[in-house]
């Protein structure tokens, strides 16, 4: 699985804990957010929400691990976009249930609120449970079919109620576009020339040059 880790500025100092907790898994990790709290350039949860959605919608990653101080900001930001199904994860049980029932492709972590003694250990337990079951496998077993049907309905709703992503990129505020597309490592990861959607590819190239 290809996973993007995207820290925003207030939780940049937790980036090292997330990367360490993921080290035991056989996934390809792209560490594309803040590596420390503050600094320049600086990504807020508004920026990381757009970045997470961009990487999912261009199929550059399969899963996004984000968050912020409480986890609520990133959750609300990333869920503004099509094709993103994010869970607010505070505990290993949250992760275990979310991935089975909701089959999501993104999680938002609380990385300041309640992040105290053994916070890094809690991250390890969260990821252990997150990757221990098949997405959308259902829990409890007798609810499997209903949950899978609901997941597909939700996906269809997401596509109907959002603009196509090339339109979103076209309309996006210039400050956000510039910060995200020019943030170190993002443009290389996007590999824009390989994006199959011609209109999205051309729009990204044009906006990157602005």
Q: What is the pLDDT of residues 5-36, one digit of tens each?
A: 999 999 999 999 999 999 999 999 999 999 99
Would you give the DSSP letter of residue 168?
H
pLDDT of residue 202: 97
pLDDT of residue 167: 98
Peptide bond between residue 86 and the one before it cis (omega within 30 degrees of 0) = no
**Residue 123 in this model has a pLDDT that exceeds 90:** yes
Q: What is the pLDDT averaged over residues 164-177? A: 97
Location of structure tokens 């390989």: 194
What CA–CA distance (Å, rounded) separates 63 from 86? 10
Architecture of domain 2-209: 3-Layer(aba) Sandwich (3.40)
pLDDT in tens, 147-156: 999 999 999 9
84 close to 68: Cβ distance less than 8 angstroms: no
pLDDT of residue 199: 97
Please report, for the chain, the start and end positions of each structural domain, with discontinuous segments joined by +.
2-209
**Residue 4 in this model has a pLDDT that exceeds 90:** yes
Q: What is the pLDDT averaged over residues 70-85? A: 98
Q: What per-residue string of b and e applies to 190-202 under the rule 16 or more CB within 10 Å gives b?
A: bebeebeeeebbe
pLDDT of residue 38: 85
Percentage of residues in the chain having pLDDT higher than 70: 100
pLDDT averaged over the chain? Answer: 96
């Amino acid at each position: 699985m290809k996973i993007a880790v995207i820290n925003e500025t207030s939780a940049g100092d937790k980036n090292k804990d997330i990367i360490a907790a993921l080290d035991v898994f056989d996934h390809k990790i792209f560490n594309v957010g803040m590596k420390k709290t503050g600094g320049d350039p600086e990504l807020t949860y508004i920026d990381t929400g757009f970045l997470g959605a961009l990487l999912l919608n261009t199929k550059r990653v399969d899963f996004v691990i984000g968050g912020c101080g409480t986890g609520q900001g990133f959750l609300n930001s990333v869920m503004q976009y099509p094709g993103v199904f994010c869970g607010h994860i505070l505990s290993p049980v949250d992760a275990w249930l979310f991935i089975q029932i909701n089959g999501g492709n993104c999680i938002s972590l609380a990385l300041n609120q309640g992040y105290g003694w053994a916070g890094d250990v809690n991250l390890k337990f969260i990821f252990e449970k997150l990757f221990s079951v098949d997405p959308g496998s259902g829990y409890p077993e007798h609810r499997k079919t209903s949950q899978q049907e609901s997941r597909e309905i939700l996906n269809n709703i997401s596509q109907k109620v959002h603009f196509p992503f090339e339109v979103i990129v076209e309309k996006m505020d210039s400050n956000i576009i510039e910060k995200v597309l020019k943030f170190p490592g993002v443009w290389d990861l996007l590999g824009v020339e390989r994006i199959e959607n011609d209109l999205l590819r051309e729009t990204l190239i044009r906006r990157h040059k602005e």
